[in-house]
Structure 1
Amino acid sequence: MGETGLTTLSYVNTVIRERPRQIHKGQCGRVLIVAGSVGMAGACVLSTGAALRSGAGLVKAAVPEEIFPILQIAVPQATCTNVSDREFLRSVSVHDAIGIGPGMGVSEKKYQLIEEILSIFDGPVVIDADGITNLCRFGKKTGILKKKDNIILTPHPGECDRLLDALDLEPVSVMGRVEAAEAVSDRTGAVVLLKGADTVVTSGSGSTYINTTGNPGMATGGSGDVLTGVITAFAASGTAPLDAARAGAFVHGMAGDLAAGIMGQWGMTATDIRDQLPATLRGIVGK
């Protein structure tokens, strides 16, 4: 294990900067979010909304057609494409970053979709929640966990244990948080963000950072879906995967701190975190 650094505001100020006056939406990042399912539409609502509130210029949601109305009403700024119609894969390359997993469900068919996206898209891909579970359950036998550039894995401790098990490694409780995240990163080649108090972000031994924002009120359903949207938006803006994950964790936690200051830690929800993203970014950039 190498030295572990901290992710602080001074670092984030080097990643998130004031935009040029003449910039247009096509230059602010095109995001595709592959998430949601019947009964889990909210996960995609949170991810797409967070991506938009984190500066993405254009956001598209690949979801089952049955939940189009929910997305179109809850996040009218986003467009929808039918995830069951593989025609949408033909236009995957027009996006600058893809977020996969929140609420998408777990099945071999869903895993095959992830595999297909990873095979044709060379840009940054954030994989969270059900996306990680699909990789762990179905990916080991096809080698999908082999090293690949531009992947950001964002597990909570339970999902990290699934990754470790799929990689024939000891669980987080045995290895420790930093060592576990580094081991997954070393084995897969991905940037790994291990959620929880003192979130760990690593690109492998020697490049590991502890986040310095956030509070216990963020331990609420949907918080991770918001984080997926934030990181995907930052990656779509051209930020390198490690920097996108570090800045994303910091901004997400800072938004949670603002929400806690308004709502209190006991009653805040993921929507409150999402809604504080613009104020968070204004505090960082100054505009």
Structure 2
Amino acid sequence: MEKINKSILSEVIKARNPESYKGNYGRILIIAGSLPFGGAAILSTSAAVHTGAGLVTVLTIPEKFTAMNTVVPEAMTIDYNDKQEMAAAIIKNNVIVVGPGLGTSTNTAEIISSVIKNCDGDTTVIMDASALTVAAEKNIDLTKISNLILTPHQGEWARLSGLAIPEQTPENNEIALKKLAPNAILILKKHHSEIYDFGKVLQIDDGNPGMATGGMGDTLTGILAGFVGQFGFSLKTISAGLYLHSYIADKINQTDYVVLPSKLISKIPKYMLKFSKQLQ
């Protein structure tokens, strides 16, 4: 099992071309949030914006528009109950996040189906949180998505794969992933998280117990969306997004008992600038 180390950051994060515009850095659509879980949508969206995504749109419920526009004014908001608007937004964007804080209602299954129906072969879909639970419960076919990133914690992966946590060995995880979604890259969130991609298994040793707080996974999802939007869908890009998340958290944990996701997000631009200059 190969270890991911800090060098991946300077390999992936590049200095921006002086002649740039927002369309160069990805069009991100985040389908997230519900009445009890609006914070998940805000954290994912804020993380994508702070990572440098060019255009970020949030499909959520109208009750969360004011909070979203106040905390993340850089993002656009659309009502995910408007099926035509949702389909049009899925077609327009090149990275789709579905799941943070959505809940497990029938509406979530309909949203996942719309994503699968309307995204094309160049679109990257990141499935997280509630979307993973619903995909498992409804036995949704994920094989039709060409570029798919799954980000379950071990409990969610148990539901998706049918593997109890003690059975989640690298060999078993690879077999389950190949059957479930052969085109997917899996990030299995755990102590020393692992990434699975076409027979390759990577592991991260960074991270700390201060990260065990609500919203940390939503933040990672937003970082991954921003990275893929800017640097493309690849194992290297995804590894760098995972590493940056834990790297910043470890810096915060040197002085803070708990690593608040909002504080981690605020430091993303600083560290991305640092690593964008290391190969110059």
Whether TM-score is above 0.5 comes out as: yes
Instruction: Give, in angstroms, the shift of residue 228 of structure 1.
Output: 0.5
Asked if the contact 1:125–1:151 (Cα under 8 Å) also holds between the matched residues in 2, the reply is: yes
- Equivalent positions of 1:10-25 (< 5 A) are 10-25=7-22
Residue from 89, 92, 95 that aligns with 1:94: 92
- Tell me the residue number matched to 2:203: 210
Provide the rounded CA distance (Å) in 1 between the counterparts of 2:165 and 2:144: 21
Structural RMSD (CA): 1.6
Asked if the contact 1:186–1:203 (Cα under 8 Å) also holds between the matched residues in 2, the reply is: no
- State yes or no: 1:201 paired with 2:195: yes
Q: Secondary structure at the match of 1:131?
A: helix
- State yes or no: 1:82 paired with 2:79: yes
- State yes or no: 1:49 paired with 2:38: no
- Tell me the residue number matched to 2:117: 119
Asked if the contact 1:47–1:227 (Cα under 8 Å) also holds between the matched residues in 2, the reply is: yes
Letter in structure 2 aligned against 1:118: I
Asked if the contact 2:5–2:204 (Cα under 8 Å) also holds between the matched residues in 1, the reply is: yes
Asked if the contact 1:184–1:192 (Cα under 8 Å) also holds between the matched residues in 2, the reply is: no
Aligned residues: 273
- Tell me the residue number matched to 1:37: 34
Q: Secondary structure at the match of 1:237?
A: helix
Instruction: Give, in angstroms, the shift of residue 241 of structure 1.
Output: 3.8
Letter in structure 2 aligned against 1:195: K
Q: Which runs of 5+ in 1 are unaligned?
A: none
Worse-superposed segment, 20-29 or 8-17: 8-17
Identity of aligned residues (%): 30
Residue from 175, 179, 204 that aligns with 1:183: 175
Q: Secondary structure at the match of 1:84?
A: coil
Provide the rounded CA distance (Å) in 1 between the counterparts of 2:116 and 2:236: 21
- Tell me the residue number matched to 2:108: 110
- State yes or no: 1:268 paired with 2:259: yes
Q: Which runs of 5+ in 2 are unaligned?
A: none
Provide the rounded CA distance (Å) in 1 between the counterparts of 2:115 and 2:269: 30
Kindly tell me: are residues 49 and 105 of structure 1, through their superposed partners in 2, closer, same or farther at Cα, counting changes over 3 Å? same
- Equivalent positions of 1:210-249 (< 5 A) are 210-249=203-242
- Tell me the residue number matched to 1:282: 273
Provide the rounded CA distance (Å) in 2 between the counterparts of 1:109 and 1:102: 14
Instruction: Give, in angstroms, the shift of residue 180 of structure 1.
Output: 4.4
TM-score of the superposed pair, with normalisation by structure 1? 0.90
